[in-house]
Chains A and B, each alone.
Chain A
């Protein structure tokens, strides 16, 4: 671009680049999906963020400088970000076999899509901010960049389980001697006496009650409940290892009553009910669970 005869205005590119980068870094910190967990994970995400912000911010500058080849190449580079989703999915799926409470495929897909979208968002923020700076100058560009970042954050922050589902503590008890119940919800059959004693002494249980139809639909999704279980186990810990399948935390619907409520049972390391409820409420709503209204017997019963 240095060969260009007209002088290049670098301000839009720099402001746009910074806005895009900041937009991506903010989302890296606010992630509560326990990923990335290691510095190496952050570095690779940061490198992608720099590239994304770079692409977004330099498109307009190269167009203004009449460097159409450069602009075309930048759009080509943008398509490379499709691979981000695959990389995330592969990493998390491999990890799935090595963790005691799995995230579930729905959660993994959600995380992968979010990471891909975050890079595109950084690109968009960078592009729009550089456009604003080009038209309005440095000060307006900076203000516009901040607004873009805020809009991006609002746009990208999906709902939480706590928004549409009530979470309340419930008693853990055994029916017929062996059937584990959380409140009115039957969870599973525990055939051995020692785990039963442990559940009665140390177990924690919560009941999830949907506030509305959307909550109903979300709760009937198996992946969503697995994600809730994962978040609960990550928050309070879980007394479990290979060879102790009956101590797995579970989230099950109230069946056969199909009242739409769900129960969650867990044998925590840290017996802290507030922390457990907070973790359940903070679980993100998975994209896959939003459109499953048809699988909810309660909603369909009401509509008939």
Chain B
């Protein structure tokens, strides 16, 4: 089903680095919310990944495989 994409974690952008650890995606640590959003926006423009807000100071970027 090409219509139902499978999201794969691509990157993590956070201001609270103690809330994330390990895994397959690189973690970008930002000083404040503004920088976090700037990094996330740049990453999404470059990689076509989708930004999601986890509401705990962390943004995740996912890429749809086969979407």
Using CB atoms and an 8 Å cutoff, list the residues of chain A in contact with chain B.
104-106, 176-178, 189-194, 222-223, 226, 242-246
Per CB-CB distance, the 10 closest pairs between chain A and chain B, nearest first, are A191-B51, A191-B53, A243-B45, A222-B3, A178-B53, A245-B50, A189-B52, A191-B52, A192-B51, A104-B3
Q: A176-B55, A242-B48 are in contact. Are A194 and B41 (CB under 8 A)?
A: yes
Whether B24 sits at the interface, judged by CB under 8 Å, is no
A191 CB contacts on chain B under 8 angstroms: 40, 50-53, 59-60
Please name all residues of chain A whose beta carbon is closer than 8 Å to the beta carbon of B59 when the two chains form the complex. 191
Distance of B44 from chain A, by nearest CB (Å): 7
Measured CB to CB, the closest approach of chain A to B45, in angstroms, equals: 4
In chain B between 3 and 48, which residues have their CB closer than 8 angstroms to a CB of chain A? 3-4, 37, 40-41, 44-46, 48
Which B positions have Cβ atoms within 8 angstroms of A? Answer: 1-4, 37, 40-41, 44-46, 48-53, 55, 59-60, 64
Select which of B1, B44, B64 is within 8 A of A192 by beta carbon: B44
- Find A222's partner among B1, B44, B51, B53 (CB 8 Å cutoff): B1
Residues of A contacting B60 in the complex (Cβ-Cβ under 8 angstroms):
191
Contact B44 A189 (CB under 8 A): no
Contact A223 B3 (CB under 8 A): yes
21 A-B pairs within 8 Å (CB atoms) are namely: A105-B3, A106-B3, A178-B55, A190-B51, A191-B40, A191-B52, A191-B53, A191-B59, A191-B60, A192-B41, A192-B44, A222-B1, A222-B3, A226-B3, A242-B48, A243-B44, A243-B48, A244-B44, A245-B44, A245-B50, A246-B51
Cβ of A226: which chain B residues have Cβ within 8 Å of it? 3
A35: min CB distance to chain B, Å: 19
B4–A222 CB distance below 8 A = yes
Cα A178 to Cα B44 with chains together (Å) = 16
Contact assessment for A246 and B55 in the assembled complex, using a CB-CB cutoff below 8 Å: no
Chain B residues with CB under 8 A of A193? 37
Closest approach, in angstroms, between the C-beta of B19 and any C-beta of chain A? 16
Please tell me if the beta carbons of A177 and B53 are within 8 angstroms of each other in the complex: yes
- Taken together as a complex, chains A and B put the C-alpha atoms of A105 and B2 apart, in Å, by 8
Of A105, A192, A223, A242, the contact of B40 (CB 8 Å cutoff): A192
B50 touches which one: A104, A223, A246 (CB < 8 A)?
Answer: A246
Instruction: Identify 17 new A-B residue pairs, CB closer than 8 A, beyond the known A191-B50, A243-B46.
Output: A106-B3, A177-B53, A177-B55, A178-B52, A178-B55, A189-B53, A191-B52, A191-B59, A191-B60, A192-B44, A192-B51, A193-B37, A222-B4, A226-B3, A245-B44, A245-B48, A246-B44
